[in-house]
Homo-oligomer: A and B are copies of this chain.
């Protein structure tokens, strides 16, 4: 058993994946907190921890406190904690480290750059962990901890983390929305997204080996106005998809001009 004792605040997708991964790596998770005792219990059982739904019951003798709750709940949780010099980190891409400053002298951020679901097991070894701390010794301890579960640990300050988060919205949230728009359009035409799945997988796979701008295909980058006009005509019943098609095609054209 690893002598490091961890308190997990939160029971959502990230807390669940991180908690089970830490537990199976031999870390001792002492408590899992959720305002809903049912949710705390569900995760606590998996990681052999105590479930609590009141922050007043928190074990103040742990080594690391990981706040893995929704972005807008971090400040609320932070207000209820007082942990002197314990290491306290949150896991958010968009919230500043400073939100933790009244809890402890040793604070930081432990931001795993991945999208998590409750059921699909995450492999932390290959997930980039962006860390930040408010002093050198906390950074050293946090680095040591992060490196014990991932091979990709990066020092990223709050400003850079925000920038990474903006980029992640484009690369992930918006690309997923592109899949949704394709799915909805196909469904309206009684076709299945299954036909596009190998193409989607290959598109994402291609950028492992080259710059995405160099991998761009399709009518816009070819300057194939005839095909674009035909597509816009097909989309005439769907104002939203049509507006997006025009804007993104123009953006592809402008971006490829700049790259030349």
Give the interface of A toward B (CB within 8 A). 70-72, 94, 113-115, 117, 120, 126-128, 130, 154, 160, 162-186, 189, 191, 193-209, 211-213, 215-222, 224, 226-227, 230-231, 234-235, 240-241, 243-245, 247-248, 251-252, 254-255
Contacts and interface: CB of A to CB of B under 8 A. Distances in A.
Nearest to A161: B191
A72 B189 CA distance: 26
A212 B230 contact: no
Contacts of A243: 247
Given A163-B191, A173-B216, 9 more contacts: A128-B198, A163-B234, A168-B218, A169-B231, A170-B185, A175-B175, A175-B179, A176-B206, A180-B212
A212 B179 contact: yes
B115 A202 contact: yes
A226 B165 CA distance: 14
Given A216-B177, A217-B115, A183 B201 contact: no
Contacts of A184: 213, 255
Given A72-B224, A231-B165, A231-B169, A203 B160 contact: no
**How many copies of the chain does the oligomer comprise?**
2
A175 to B, nearest CB: 4
A215 to B, nearest CB: 6
A243 B172 CA distance: 17
A159 to B, nearest CB: 9
22 contacts: A72-B224, A94-B227, A113-B198, A128-B195, A154-B195, A160-B191, A162-B234, A163-B191, A167-B193, A167-B196, A169-B231, A170-B182, A171-B196, A173-B217, A173-B219, A173-B220, A175-B200, A176-B203, A176-B207, A180-B213, A180-B216, A183-B211
Given A176-B217, A251-B177, A166 B183 contact: no
A113 B204 contact: no
B252 A177 contact: yes
A234 B168 CA distance: 13
A71 B211 contact: no
Q: Which of A166, A219, A244 counts the most B-chain CB atoms under 10 A from its CB?
A: A166
